[in-house]
Amino acid sequence: MTRLDVHGKGVTVIVWFDGENEVDCDIGQVERAFADHGEHFVEVTRLMPGMTSVELVEHGPDSAVIRTNEGLMKRTNISKRIGADTVVVEFDEEYEAGSSVTATSHFSHEFTAIDAGVRHRLVMSDVEAPGLLGFFYQRFGSSKMGNAFLTAYKAYFERPDE
């Protein structure tokens, strides 16, 4: 884990995952997808490994609650910053994976227009998960989880119907 000054704001976070990939879509497509962040999060979550059931339970202007076959995702403090060639979406998440473990974290998705599409950078930070299972999750789960999110977003934006 490393410390990072997020977007030059003087806020230091403990980075759990920092990765990126290129997505074959345009920045306008990303902006439109986040117009309804609740439905967007549901559709991306459906593409995550192991997800067989995903439903939107609650949706507000800066929040979304999603129930999956693995547990309950509560996303709060959702903020969107949209520029001419960037879309940045940030939120806090509390994920209750059954009765086994509850993890909290902060997500920052930064989409930037490039010549060949969009670069998606994902930073997951300030991850906390108590207990023995939480220890293993924090210690060994970052690459698997972060790359699963990057892959799901890529699949979502590169769907043929988009």
Put residue 77 in one of left, alpha, beta given phi > 0 → left and psi -120 to 50 → alpha.
left
Q: Looking at the predicted structure, is the pLDDT value of residue 82 above 50? A: yes
Residue 41 lies in a domain: yes
SS3 for 23? strand
Arithmetic mean of pLDDT over the chain: 89
Residue 162 lies in a domain: no
Question: Which pLDDT score is estimated for 111?
Answer: 98
Q: Looking at the predicted structure, is the pLDDT value of residue 10 above 70? A: no
Q: Looking at the predicted structure, is the pLDDT value of residue 1 above 70? A: no
* Domain hosting residue 145, numbered range: 2-157
Residue 55 backbone dihedrals phi, psi, to 5 degrees = -140, 145
The helix or strand, by DSSP H or E, that contains position 143, with its residue range, turns out to be helix 142-157
Question: Which pLDDT score is estimated for 94?
Answer: 95
CATH label of the domain that carries residue 30:
3.30.530.20
User: How many folded domains does the chain comprise?
Assistant: 1
